[in-house]
C-alpha cells in the first residue's frame, strides 16, 4: 500500500518520503535537516535509528539550533534504537503488524496529541542490508497504514549501496511506490544513478508495467 499525501484529521496530511544515501554523513545531514524543520514547525518528533547514526545526527541538529536534550526531556522528541525496536516487532525475521502497532504505533499515536508527528526511521534500511527486501516493503506498508490513522510526516533512509545489484531494482521500485515522494541530494550521486537506472529499466520491463 502506498501513501499519496493522505489527509488525516481534517486538513492535516500525512506524507512518507524516502532518500537513498551514499554516505553516513549525507544521511546525518539530511535527516537532521528534515527533523530540524519539524522542530521549527512545532511538530513532535520520533527517531528510530542506529546508535552511531543518531549520534551523528545530534551533532547536526545542535548546529541547526535544535536543543536535543531539552526536546527529549519534555517529550517533544522520542528516540528509539533501530536494532532493538526491529527485534521487538519481528518474529523469525518477519515484521508483524500487531507488534509494530504496539511498539511504534502507540508511541506515534501518543505523540500525535501534540500535532502532526515528524518521524525518521531506518529499520527498513537494516532489512535491506540483510537482503530482506520483501520484509522492508512490508514494513513500509505498516508505516503507511499508521499514516492513515494519525497525522505523520515520515522520512525513511536507505543506503544506496544495498541496491547496486540489478537483482534488487524491482524491490527498489516497490519501495519507491510505497512513498509519496523521493528526495535526492547532489551529495548522493550513486543513489541518484540507481534510481534513474531502475526506473529507466522499468519502462522496458513487462513486470514493472503490471
Q: 14-53 pLDDT, tens per residue?
A: 999 999 999 999 999 999 999 999 999 999 999 999 999 9
DSSP letter (8 states) at residue 151: -
Phi-psi region of 184 (alpha: psi -120 to 50; beta: other; left: phi over 0): beta
User: How confident is the model at residue 144, as a pLDDT?
Assistant: 97
Which positions of the chain have pLDDT values less than 50?
1-11, 207-210
User: How confident is the model at residue 210, as a pLDDT?
Assistant: 35
User: How confident is the model at residue 13, as a pLDDT?
Assistant: 86
User: How confident is the model at residue 204, as a pLDDT?
Assistant: 59
Other Cβ atoms less than 10 A from the Cβ of 83: the count is 14
User: How confident is the model at residue 155, as a pLDDT?
Assistant: 98
CATH number of 12-186: 3.40.50.300
User: How confident is the model at residue 14, as a pLDDT?
Assistant: 95
Tell me the C-alpha to C-alpha distance, in Å, between residue 139 and each of 14, 29, 40, 59, 129: 17, 24, 28, 28, 14
Amino acid at each position: 500500500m502506498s501513501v499519496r499525501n493522505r489527509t488525516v484529521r481534517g486538513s492535516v496530511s500525512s506524507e512518507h518520503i524516502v532518500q537513498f544515501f551514499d554516505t553516513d554523513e549525507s544521511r546525518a545531514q539530511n535527516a537532521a535537516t528534515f527533523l530540524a524543520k519539524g522542530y521549527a514547525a512545532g511538530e513532535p518528533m520520533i527517531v528510530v535509528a542506529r546508535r552511531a547514526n543518531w549520534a551523528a545526527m545530534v551533532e547536526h541538529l545542535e548546529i541547526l539550533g535544535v536543543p536535543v536534550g531539552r526536546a527529549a526531556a519534555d517529550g517533544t522528541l522520542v528516540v528509539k534504537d533501530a536494532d532493538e525496536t526491529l527485534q521487538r516487532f519481528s518474529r523469525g525475521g518477519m515484521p508483524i503488524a500487531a507488534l509494530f502497532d504496539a511498539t511504534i504505533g502507540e508511541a506515534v499515536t501518543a505523540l500525535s496529541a501534540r500535532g502532526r508527528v515528524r518521524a525518521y526511521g531506518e529499520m527498513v534500511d537494516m532489512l535491506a542490508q540483510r537482503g530482506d527486501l520483501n520484509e522492508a516493503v512490508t514494513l513500509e506498508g505498516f508505516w503507511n497504514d499508521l499514516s492513515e490513522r494519525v497525522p505523520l510526516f515520515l522520512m525513511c533512509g536507505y543506503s544506496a549501496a544495498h541496491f547496486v545489484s540489478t537483482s534488487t531494482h524491482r524491490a527498489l521500485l516497490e519501495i519507491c511506490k510505497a512513498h509519496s515522494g523521493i528526495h535526492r541530494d547532489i551529495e548522493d550521486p550513486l543513489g541518484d544513478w540507481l534510481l534513474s537506472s531502475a526506473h529507466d529499466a522499468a519502462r522496458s520491463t513487462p513486470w514493472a508495467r503490471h
